[in-house]
C-alpha cells in the first residue's frame, strides 16, 4: 500500500503540479498578447447602469479575458493529459461549449454594440444552458462506449458510495446549470471569481488525489488552478480585463463536471460556498421582491442589491475588502470540504479492512 501511494505521489502528483506551473506560465504569456488583441478590436465591457454607480468608471474595461484560461488549459490537457481520452474529453467539451455560449453573450454586451440589451435575455440564456447541461449529463450517465458510466454514483461522507440511479441525470444537469450561473454572478468584482475558482479547483485536485481513482481529473484541476492564478495577474484590482461570461460560464460548468465525475458533488456547495451565497442572494432577492409586491402591493428588497457582494459594497466595504473576506471564507469552507472527503476515505478503508477474512489459525508442529 505504501509503495503504491508513493508511486502515485511521484508519478501523478508531480505531473499535475508540473502542468499547473506550466499553465501559469503559458497563461501569463498568452494573456499579454490576448490583451493586445482585445485592445485592437475594442472588446470593452458595457457596464449596467442599474448596478452600483461606482462601477460606471469600469465602462470600456476589456472583457472576454476568460480566453486566457480556456485556451492554455485545453492545449495543455490535449497534449499531456489524455491518458483516458473519454474521461478528459467530457470536461474539456463542457468548458468549450459553455465558453462559446459565454463568448456570444459577451459580444452582445460590448460597449460598441448597437443592441440595447446586455447580452442574451435571461430566458434564452437559461434555455441554452439547460440544453448543454442535459447533453453533458447524458454522457456522464450512459454506459460505455456511449458515456462515462457514472451511473448515478455519489460518495457520501461517513457513509460510503451510494447509487441514486436515473435521478443522477436531471440532478447533474441542475448542478451544471446552477454552478455556471453561480460563478457568473460572482464575477462582479475584480479578482473575486478568479480567486474562488482557483481555491475550488485546488480543493478538487486534493480530493481526487486522495481518492486515487481520478488522477486525470486531479491533473485537470491543478492545471485550472495554475491558469486561474495567472489570470489574476491581469484581473487584480484595478482590473485590466474582465473574465466575462466566456470565462465564468465555462469555468463554472467544468467545475460542476469535475465534481460530478469524481462522485464528490455533495461537497460542491461547501467548497463553493461563495458561489452558492451569491446565487442564493439573487434568487432570494427576486422571490422576496415579487412576494411583497403581491402581498402588500409595495415591493421590498431583502438586500441592498444582489448578488451578495453588491450588498456589502453598498454597505461601505471596498472591492478589495469584499474580495479578501470572501476568499477567506472560501478557504475555510474548503478545509471543511476536504476534511469531509477524508472521512469518506477513512470509512472506506475501514470497511475494506473489515471485509478481509482473518488469517487461518495454524497449529504449531508437534
Domain-by-domain residue ranges, the chain? 2-268
Residue for cell digits 461549449?
97
pLDDT for position 21? 97
pLDDT for position 361? 40
In total, the chain counts a number of residues equal to 366
CA distance 47 to 88: 36
Cell digits of residue 77: 490537457
pLDDT for position 359? 42
Residue 109 near residue 252 (C-beta atoms within 8 A): no
pLDDT for position 362? 39
End-to-end CA, the chain? 36
Burial 47-74 (b: 16+ CB within 10 A, else e): beeeebeebeebeebbbbbbbbbbbbbb
pLDDT for position 161? 87
CA distance 279 to 263: 23
The model carries a pTM of 0.91
Q: Would you give the DSSP letter of residue 361?
A: P
pLDDT for position 211? 82
Q: How far does Cα 189 stand from its chain's mean position?
A: 17
Helices (H), 241-360: 244-261, 268-271, 273-296, 308-314, 319-355
Closest CA to 81 of 244, 173, 208, 176: 208
pLDDT for position 56? 66
* Bond prior to 336 in cis (omega within 30° of 0): no
pLDDT for position 356? 42
- Residues of the chain scoring pLDDT < 50: 350-366
Residue 241 near residue 58 (C-beta atoms within 8 A): no
Three-state DSSP class for residue 3:
helix
Residue 106 near residue 119 (C-beta atoms within 8 A): yes
Burial (CB < 10 A; 0-12, 13-18, 19+), residue 135, is middle
Amino acid at each position: 500500500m505504501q509503495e503504491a501511494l508513493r508511486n502515485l505521489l511521484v508519478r501523478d502528483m508531480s505531473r499535475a503540479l508540473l502542468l499547473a506551473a506550466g499553465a501559469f506560465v503559458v497563461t501569463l504569456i498568452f494573456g499579454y498578447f490576448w490583451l493586445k488583441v482585445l485592445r485592437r478590436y475594442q472588446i470593452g465591457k458595457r457596464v449596467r447602469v442599474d448596478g452600483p454607480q461606482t462601477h460606471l468608471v469600469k465602462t470600456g474595461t476589456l472583457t472576454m479575458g476568460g480566453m486566457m484560461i480556456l485556451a492554455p488549459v485545453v492545449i495543455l490537457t490535449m497534449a499531456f493529459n489524455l491518458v483516458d481520452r473519454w474521461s478528459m474529453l467530457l470536461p474539456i467539451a463542457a468548458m468549450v461549449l459553455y465558453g462559446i455560449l459565454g463568448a456570444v453573450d459577451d459580444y452582445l454586451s460590448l460597449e460598441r454594440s448597437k443592441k440595447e440589451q446586455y447580452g442574451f435575455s435571461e430566458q434564452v440564456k437559461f434555455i441554452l444552458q439547460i440544453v448543454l447541461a442535459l447533453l453533458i449529463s447524458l454522457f456522464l450517465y450512459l454506459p460505455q462506449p456511449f458515456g462515462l458510466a457514472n451511473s448515478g454514483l455519489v460518495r457520501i461522507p461517513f457513509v460510503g458510495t451510494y447509487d441514486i440511479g436515473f435521478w443522477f441525470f436531471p440532478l447533474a444537469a441542475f448542478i451544471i446549470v446552477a454552478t455556471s450561473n453561480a460563478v457568473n454572478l460572482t464575477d462582479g468584482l475584480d479578482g473575486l471569481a478568479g480567486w474562488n475558482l482557483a481555491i475550488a479547483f485546488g480543493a478538487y485536485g486534493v480530493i481526487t488525489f486522495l481518492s486515487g481513482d481520478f488522477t486525470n481529473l486531479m491533473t485537470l484541476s491543478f492545471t485550472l488552478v495554475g491558469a486561474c492564478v495567472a489570470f489574476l495577474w491581469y484581473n487584480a484590482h484595478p482590473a485590466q480585463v474582465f473574465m466575462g461570461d466566456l470565462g465564468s460560464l465555462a469555468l463554472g460548468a467544468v467545475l460542476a463536471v469535475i465534481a460530478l465525475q469524481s462522485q464528490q458533488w455533495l461537497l460542491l456547495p461547501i467548497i463553493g460556498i461563495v458561489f452558492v451565497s451569491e446565487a442564493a442572494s439573487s434568487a432570494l432577492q427576486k422571490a422576496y421582491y415579487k412576494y411583497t409586491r403581491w402581498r402588500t402591493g409595495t415591493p421590498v428588497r431583502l438586500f441592498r442589491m444582489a448578488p451578495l457582494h453588491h450588498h456589502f459594497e453598498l454597505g461601505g466595504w471596498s472591492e478589495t475588502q469584499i474580495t479578501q473576506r470572501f476568499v477567506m471564507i472560501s478557504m475555510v469552507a474548503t478545509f471543511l470540504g476536504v476534511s469531509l472527503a477524508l472521512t469518506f476515505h477513512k470509512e472506506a478503508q475501514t470497511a475494506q479492512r473489515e471485509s478481509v477474512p482473518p488469517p487461518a489459525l495454524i497449529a504449531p508442529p508437534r
